[in-house]
Amino acid sequence: MPDRSSRRSDLDRLAAAVLQVGFDGTTPPDWVLRELAGGLGGVVLFARNIDGDPADVVRRLREENPEVIVAADEEGGTVTRLEAARGSSWPGNAALGMLDDVARTERTAAEIGRLLAATGVTLDYAPDVDVNADPANPVIGVRSFGADPGLVARHAAAWVTGLQAQGVAACAKHFPGHGDTVTDSHLALPTLHASRELLERRDLPPFRAAVAAGVRAIMCGHLLVPALDPDLTATLSRRVMTDLLREELGFQGLLVTDAIEMKAVSARMSQPEVAVRALAAGADAICVGISSPGGENVAAMREAIAGAVRDGTLPESRLAEAADRVAALVAWTGGGPAGGPGVPLDPEYGVSRLGLESARLALRAVPGEGAVARPVLTRAPVVIEMTARPHQAIGDAPPYGPAEALAARLPGTTRVTLTPDHHAVPPLGGHGDAPPVLVTRDAHRHAWMRRVLAEVLRRRPDAVVIEMGLPGRPCGAVHLATGGDSRVSAIAAAEWLTSG
């Protein structure tokens, strides 16, 4: 019979196995290395961890625990971790949905898988398979393939297939669907006001398609869905996590929580309590995006999970089941992809050739009254970039606009950045000057952007407008919609404006 200290050690290792944690800095701190040596199951990489070759970070992690799951949010487009410094080589889901070419979507995901595999990442918190039913949604938007459930479902399956063919596990999110919400779950608890019939018809088909495609992981959203459970957030609801996802949809892979420091759950209870209750509801892995400087919150969660088993709050069989699913994902990836051929790059820009081609094809140009001669720009313009405060899923990455690409073609191009707090219209020049270029991101959601647009177009009706969020009402002498906020989308817009 094992002694008490041995049992405590076993429980601690089981509890550590179900945690996936982030850290600050470009070198894993000592507390992360200690947790890894003690059985920590997962580490999440963010842009803040990458300076130079991210594979170096992964190698250091695996020196302490060769079987650690290394996860990242690499969606392509707006949300990127490995390419955050310069912008994504792929235009993102909205652009792919606009093209509606499932073979292209599968190839795109395969290239992202190659990038991750070369780094040593084994779990990608992607694709986003939310149906963006509400254009006012503050956190999904261009991260979604679109507003049509059938379109989102077929591209979700293609994305999962392409990524997982590279040995990297996909993670469809945010179950049961974050698309019809007007609240960012990083900041508060969103409520999904939809009947069960509407959920079945609109929000669940993409998840069913992902399950049918063999998706290895699903991430639940911090959402209140009264039609499923009027009292508990989805993350804490057995009705949502087990009864619906496991029993009805038949998903048997790894069920991951969204980051538990998000205010949707952390404003209501402590992180250790969230972790214990999420596991009891059916989660297998607890994502902790932000850790204390010394990992104190991670240690507290590990201790709370083990303590909940000892006091009977959390059945040991449930914790063991969760740890077994973590181990199953590790076994599926072989402990870490070896990597294969690299991503074919465009020789001029150093980005994915496929991604740039997709961005060019996705570009939608609407001239104003009458035809517009091309090239539209022959002299260096002023680029006025309007950007709202980025949501936390994007992180600290800068917005990727066309100013740099335009400056490479038209030396002397200048950029003015406007924000919600500072958006006075700069000097615009006059007759004989190049038309100003206005860059918006979801102008339909931001009254201040629309006011700036109206003022600039009143003074310079020849202005060019580039919308890098969801396409809105065309305005300006030329209106370009990119369908995404990425480096390749910016390059495609700059090329269009400066080419005949």
Please tell me the least confidently modeled range out of 117-126, 178-187, 242-251. 178-187
pLDDT at position 437 is 97
Final residue before a domain boundary, out of 312, 333, 354:
333
Assigned domain for 305 exists: yes
Q: Which helix (H) or strand (E) holds 197?
A: helix 196-198
Q: Do 388 and 303 belong to one domain?
A: no
pLDDT in the model for residue 372: 82
Same domain, yes or no, for 23 and 141? yes
Residue 340 included in any domain? no
Mean pLDDT of 186-212: 92
Query: Are 191 and 276 in the same domain?
Result: yes
Looking up residue 304, the CATH number of its domain turns out to be 3.20.20.300
Does one domain contain both 229 and 136?
yes
The answer, yes or no, to whether residue 209 has pLDDT greater than 80, is yes
Q: Give percent of the chain with pLDDT exceeding 90.
A: 82
pLDDT band at 190 (very low <50, low <70, confident <90, very high): confident
Q: Are residues 230 and 177 in the same domain?
A: yes
CA distance 333 to 458: 57
Q: Alpha-carbon distance 385 to 460, whole Å?
A: 16
Q: What is the pLDDT of residue 180?
A: 86
- Both 88 and 168 in one domain: the answer is yes
Verify that 423 and 325 share a domain, yes or no.
no
Domain shared by 259 and 153, yes or no: yes
Confidence (pLDDT) at 72? 97
| Assigned domain for 307 exists | yes
**Between 334 and 187, where is the model more confident?**
334
Element at 57 (helix H, strand E): helix 54-64
Average pLDDT over residues 87-109: 97
> How many Å apart are CA 443 and CA 421, to the nearest integer?
16
More confident residue, 216 or 52: 216
The catalytically annotated residue of 186, 391, 446, 479 is 186
Q: What is the CATH number of the domain that holds 489?
A: 3.40.50
Residue 186 is among the residues annotated as catalytic for this protein: yes
Q: What pLDDT does residue 396 have?
A: 62
pLDDT in tens, 54-91: 999 999 999 999 999 999 999 999 999 999 988 999 99
- Tell me how far apart the alpha carbons of residues 9 and 276 are, in angstroms, rounded to a whole number: 18
Q: Look at residues 333, 352, 373 and tell me which one is the last residue of a structural domain.
A: 333
Q: Give the span between the Cα atoms of 205 and 215, in whole angstroms.
A: 14
Mean pLDDT of 408-418: 95
Tokens 């690409």 belong to: 405
In single-letter form, the type of residue at position 61 comes to L
Question: For the residues of 388-421, what is the DSSP string, one character each?
Answer: PPPPTTTTTPPP--SHHHHHHHSTT-EEEEE-SS
Tell me the residue length of the chain. Answer: 500
pLDDT (mean) for 449-473: 95
State yes or no: pLDDT of 184 exceeds 80.
no
pLDDT of residue 397: 63
Confidence class for position 311, pLDDT limits 50, 70, 90? very high
List the one residue out of 380, 336, 389, 471 whose CA is nearest residue 60: 336
Output the six-digit token pair for 491: 């390059």
Token digits for 191? 């409520």
Structural domain of 431 = 363-497
Given a cut of 80, whether residue 390 has pLDDT beyond it is no
**DSSP-derived 3-state class of residue 290:** coil
Q: Which of 29-33, 134-138, 172-176 has the lowest mean pLDDT?
A: 134-138
User: What's the structural domain count of the chain?
Assistant: 2
The residues that bridge with 440 in the sheet, in sequence order, are 467
Q: Which residues contact 345 (CB under 8 A, 6 or more apart)?
A: 351, 352, 353
Q: Which of 73, 28, 95 is nearest to 163 (CA)?
A: 73
8 A C-beta contact, residue 425 and residue 456: yes
Q: Which of 133-142, 197-206, 257-266 bottoms out in mean pLDDT, i.e. has the lowest?
A: 257-266
pLDDT tier at 9, thresholds 50, 70, 90 = confident
Asked whether residue 368 falls in the same domain as residue 327, the answer is no
* Cα–Cα distance measured from residue 395 to residue 46, given in angstroms and rounded to the nearest whole number: 8
Task: Reply yes or no on whether 231 is catalytic.
Answer: no
Q: Is the pLDDT of residue 439 over 90?
A: yes
Provide the pairing of β-strand 414-418 with 169-175.
Answer: unpaired
Mean pLDDT of 20-41: 96
- Angstrom CA distances, 303 to 272, 296, 298, 310, 373, stand at 8, 11, 9, 10, 67
Which residue among the candidates 73, 180, 258, 485 is catalytic per the annotation? 258
pLDDT of residue 191: 87
Cα gap 302→14, rounded to integer Å: 9
Q: Is 117 contained in some domain?
A: yes
Give the residue carrying structure tokens 């305005």.
475
Q: Is the pLDDT of residue 394 over 90?
A: no
Residue % of the chain over a pLDDT of 70: 95
- Check whether residue 87 and residue 11 sit in a common domain: yes
What's 79's DSSP letter?
A: B
**What is the reported pLDDT for 3?**
53
Other Cβ atoms within 10 Å of 324 Cβ, number: 12
- Domain-located, residue 383: yes
Q: Could you tell me which residue, 256 or 138, shows the higher pLDDT?
A: 256
What is the C-alpha separation between 8 and 184, in angstroms, rounded? 39
Supply the pLDDT for residue 4: 47
- Tell me the per-residue pLDDT of 275-297, one tens digit each, with 9 for 90 and over: 999 999 999 999 999 899 999 99
Mean pLDDT of 380-406: 81
Lowest mean pLDDT among 71-80, 175-184, 352-361: 175-184
220 and 95 share one domain: yes
Listed residue (404, 349, 337) closest to 90, CA to CA: 349
Instruction: Name the pLDDT band for 1 (thresholds 50, 70, 90).
Output: very low
Q: What is the mean pLDDT of the chain?
A: 92
**Same domain, yes or no: 378 and 295:** no
Hey, how many other C-beta atoms are within 10 angstroms of the C-beta on 470?
24
Long-range contacts of 455-462 (CB under 8 A, 24+ apart): 455/425, 456/384, 456/425, 456/428, 459/425, 459/428, 460/428, 460/429, 460/435, 460/436, 461/368, 462/435
CA distances from 434 to 377, 411, 498 (A): 7, 13, 12
Which two three-digit tokens encode residue 134? 């509400």
The residue ranking higher by pLDDT, 112 or 390, is 112
Q: Is residue 355 part of a domain?
A: no
Q: Is the pLDDT of residue 395 over 70?
A: no
On the question of pLDDT at 39 being above 90, the answer is: yes
pTM: 0.94
